[in-house]
């Protein structure tokens, strides 16, 4: 058989972070034009897995009780293996024979010197692997099937996120997304085949493609310091209980804000989108103060202030604590001076564009 190939893009959060981890709380995301590609070709004897991705990014570890510990949720190899496992279970349930293959991963999602931009490489490697294997075994790859198999793979790695990264890497473009009832899906893993789970409607799961107003311009600034989303989400979970009422308020306010933002996209109003971006920034700041988890670092605050000085609506993107910030402008603004100002504050403009698969 000839070689098959599938790619998945990186992602960035625009709004709704943290709240989106709870089912039914929407977020807005974009897919960006940096890709991770998986190639699969048949082998006669032994299979191999080769990845530029894993050789370039460092594997993080900590010391616990004197022992070297690797959080398996931070190890991209687990996502790849889980993606193969769940896709092959599905393929077998469809009555297909499994075979031996060589699998090669090529990633543009991390910088050449191994720094992480936080563009969602674990999601992209999962989505690209699921797509490539479905192609390899000659099965139809609908976006919904790819999303659901990728989610099952991430659930098995005990990922604590919302899976918005998987939605962006699968559906691409500008997207509104709400996560599904995770317990409902997990319960079915004990009683249903993979094929029947992916064919069910998952409660609260929502994806809607958004069309940005034509005058909207998105800039992405990178702070140069990598952050661990897994760790930040754990920290927020640990600290929310002490002030549960505050956290419930945060969830309600984030939901209302992102729903207004979705309406603003439907109306095509850049001004209203910008208003909600600024509101979402404040909502996240307050949650950060209540939980004591640092989301808007000093550099991210600077990134936002600089963008605001050029009439942009800016906020942290994703879990914060480093990685990237985003800023939305009117396309007619002249932004060269902003880029230099960012540079003097050690913020790098990432020359990324939103990617929508046609």
Binding Mg ion by CB under 5 A: which of 118, 212, 221, 325?
Answer: 118
Q: Does residue 319 belong to the site contacting Mg ion (CB under 5 A)?
A: yes
Residue 30 or 270 having the CB closest to ligand PMV: 30
d(CA 83, CA 154): 8
Q: Which member of 122, 229, 235, 302 binds Mg ion (CB under 5 A)?
A: 229
Which parts of 34-93 interact with ligand PMV (CB under 6 A)? none
Can you tell me which of 162, 235, 274, 302 binds ligand PMV, judged by CB under 6 A?
162
**SS (HEC) of 246-287:** HHHHHHHHHHHHHHHHHHHHHHCCHHHHHHHHHHHHHHHHHH
**Residue 286 · residue 86 · CB < 8 Å:** no
For ligand PMV, which stretch binds (CB under 6 A), given 128-136, 160-168, 254-262, 326-334? 160-168
DSSP 8-state assignment for residue 354:
B
**Could you say which of 233, 264, 284, 326 contacts ligand PMV (CB under 6 A)?**
233
Provide, rounded to whole angstroms, the least separation between the CB of residue 167 and Mg ion: 16
Please give the Cα distance from 32 to 187 (Å, whole number): 34
Smallest distance, Å, CB 199 to ligand PMV?
25
**Binding residues for ligand PMV restricted to 315-334, rule: CB under 6 A:** 318-319, 323
Q: If binding is defined by CB under 6 A, does position 258 make contact with ligand PMV?
A: no
Task: State which residue, 229 or 254, has the beta carbon closest to Mg ion.
Answer: 229
In angstroms, what is the minimal distance from the CB of 320 to ligand PMV?
Answer: 7
Query: How many whole angstroms separate alpha carbon 333 and alpha carbon 169?
Result: 30
Contact 175, 29 (CB under 8 A): yes
Among 6, 7, 13, 28, binds ligand PMV (CB under 6 A): 13
Q: Does 323 bind Mg ion (CB under 5 A)?
A: yes
**Range 299-318, binding ligand PMV (CB under 6 A):** 318
Q: Name the residue nearer to Mg ion (CB basis): 107 or 229.
A: 229
Q: Is residue 108 a contact point for ligand PMV (CB under 6 A)?
A: no
Give the Å distances, CA to CA, from 325 to 44, 285, 300: 47, 14, 6
Near ligand PMV by CB under 6 A: residue from 7, 14, 18, 175: 18
Among 20, 28, 283, 300, binds ligand PMV (CB under 6 A): 20
CB of 12 to Mg ion, least distance (A): 9
Contact set with ligand PMV (CB under 6 A): 13, 17-18, 20-21, 118, 120, 161-162, 164-165, 229, 233, 318-319, 323
Using CB under 5 A, list all residues that contact Mg ion.
118, 227, 229, 318-319, 323
């Amino acid at each position: 058989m000839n070689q098959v190939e599938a790619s998945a893009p990186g992602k960035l959060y625009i709004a709704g972070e943290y709240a989106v981890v709870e089912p039914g709380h929407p977020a807005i995301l974009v897919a960006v034009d940096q890709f991770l590609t998986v190639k699969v070709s048949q082998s006669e004897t032994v299979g191999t897995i080769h990845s530029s991705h894993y050789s370039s990014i460092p594997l993080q570890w900590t010391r616990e009780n004197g022992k070297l510990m690797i959080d398996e949720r931070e190890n991209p190899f687990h996502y790849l293996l889980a993606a193969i496992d769940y896709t092959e279970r599905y393929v077998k349930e469809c009555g297909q024979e499994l075979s031996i293959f060589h699998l090669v991963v090529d990633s543009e999602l991390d910088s050449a010197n191994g720094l992480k931009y936080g563009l969602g490489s674990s999601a992209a490697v999962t989505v690209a692997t699921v797509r490539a294997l479905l192609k390899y075994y000659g099965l139809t790859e609908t976006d919904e099937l790819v999303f659901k198999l990728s989610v099952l793979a991430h659930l098995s790695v005990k990922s604590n996120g919302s899976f918005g990264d998987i939605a962006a890497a699968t559906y691409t473009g500008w997207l509104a997304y709400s996560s599904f009832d995770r317990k409902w899906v997990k319960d079915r893993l004990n009683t249903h085949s993979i094929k029947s789970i992916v064919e069910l409607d998952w409660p609260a799961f929502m994806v809607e493609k958004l069309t940005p107003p034509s005058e909207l311009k998105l800039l992405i600034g990178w702070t140069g310091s990598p952050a661990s989303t897994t760790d930040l989400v754990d920290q927020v979970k640990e600290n929310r209980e002490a002030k549960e009422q505050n956290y419930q308020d945060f969830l309600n306010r984030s939901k209302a804000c992102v729903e207004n933002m979705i309406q603003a996209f439907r109306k095509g109003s850049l001004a209203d989108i910008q208003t909600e971006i600024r509101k979402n920034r404040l909502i996240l700041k307050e949650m950060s103060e209540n939980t004591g988890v640092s989301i808007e670092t000093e550099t991210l605050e600077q990134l936002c202030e600089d963008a605001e000085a050029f009439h942009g609506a800016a906020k942290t993107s994703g879990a914060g604590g480093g990685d990237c910030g985003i800023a939305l402008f009117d396309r007619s603004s002249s932004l060269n001076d902003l880029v230099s100002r960012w540079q003097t504050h050690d913020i790098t403009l990432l020359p990324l564009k939103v990617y929508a698969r046609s």
